[in-house]
């Protein structure tokens, strides 16, 4: 009789209690694990931006201080037409391969195609008839955006965005359309805490909304992207 008691299985009630406890623990752990994963993705994205920033600065060091020039839409980093110049990521190929996973944010759903998720700042150069921004023009190094999460829905193909063009825009500059957008101005938040933004001094920070005191698209004045467009052409800073 004693041996039979030692080997008897769990009762139905005991199994239900154990399953219930496991369910409660899972319900408590899953949100915490999700937050950890999302924070890890945000940090990885920041690392991606810094690597792009290093490549941008190395490019400038080899090109008389100029960042890569902005251009029109390209579905490949190296257009087949010899009359078209490479996209900005194509110009960085000596320092960062265009097909590198560094160009893809881990928080963005990369199906059905691998998409570039970052852009370079070009609106000020475009407004002043310049093909590229020179690092020597930048006076607000810790506020001037040179690259960031690309969060303009109109530049992503459907169903991920609202563009009717079924392809990746390898340029992803913002000479023609604002690329760093937030909820309420045609964009979305790439990460739980907001969008990652890299500045000319290569530090990266996360913003849930545009901060006019900390973000500028003008190298010497605190202006938003629309503000630079509204200001139009002006004399460029002395070099």
What pLDDT digit, counting tens, does each position of 63-83 carry? 999 999 987 777 788 887 777
- At residue 136, the 3 state secondary structure works out as helix
- Whether residue 87 lies inside any domain: the answer is yes
Total-model pTM: 0.82
High-pLDDT (> 70) share of the chain, %: 84
- Whether residue 5 lies inside any domain: the answer is no
pLDDT value at residue 220: 96
Q: How many domains does the chain have?
A: 1
pLDDT value at residue 139: 97
- At residue 104, the 3 state secondary structure works out as coil
- Whether residue 75 lies inside any domain: the answer is yes
- Whether residue 218 lies inside any domain: the answer is yes
- Whether residue 6 lies inside any domain: the answer is no
- Whether residue 136 lies inside any domain: the answer is yes
Say if residue 235's pLDDT is above 70.
no
d(CA 213, CA 150): 21
Residue 10 pLDDT level (bands cut at 50, 70, 90): low
- Whether residue 124 lies inside any domain: the answer is yes
- At residue 173, the 3 state secondary structure works out as strand
Say if residue 149's pLDDT is above 60.
yes
- Whether residue 236 lies inside any domain: the answer is no
The domain in which residue 194 lies consists of 11-231
Query: DSSP character for 81?
Result: S
pLDDT value at residue 13: 67
Say if residue 208's pLDDT is above 80.
yes
Say if residue 238's pLDDT is above 50.
no
pLDDT value at residue 39: 82
């Amino acid at each position: 009789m004693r041996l039979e008691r030692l080997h008897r299985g769990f009762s139905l009630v005991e199994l239900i209690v154990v399953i219930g406890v496991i369910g409660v623990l899972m319900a408590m752990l899953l949100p915490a694990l999700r937050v950890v994963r999302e924070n890890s993705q945000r940090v990885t994205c920041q690392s991606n931006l810094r690597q792009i920033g290093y490549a941008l600065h190395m490019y400038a060091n080899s090109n008389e201080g100029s960042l890569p020039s902005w251009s029109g839409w390209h579905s490949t980093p190296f257009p087949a037409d010899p009359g078209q110049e490479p996209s900005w990521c194509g110009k960085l190929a000596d320092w960062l391969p265009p097909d590198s996973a560094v160009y893809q944010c881990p928080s963005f759903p990369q199906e059905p195609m691998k998409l570039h998720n970052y852009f370079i700042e070009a609106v000020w150069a475009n407004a002043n008839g310049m093909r590229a921004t020179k690092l020597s023009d930048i006076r607000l190094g810790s506020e001037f955006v040179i690259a960031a999460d690309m969060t303009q829905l109109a530049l992503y193909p459907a169903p991920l965005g609202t563009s009717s063009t079924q392809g990746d825009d390898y340029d992803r500059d913002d000479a023609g359309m604002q690329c760093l957008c937030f909820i309420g101005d045609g964009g979305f938040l790439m990460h739980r805490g907001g969008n990652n933004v890299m500045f000319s001094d290569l530090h990266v920070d996360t913003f849930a909304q545009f901060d006019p005191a900390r973000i500028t698209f003008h190298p010497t004045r605190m202006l938003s992207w629309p503000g630079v467009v509204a200001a139009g052409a002006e004399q460029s800073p002395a070099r």
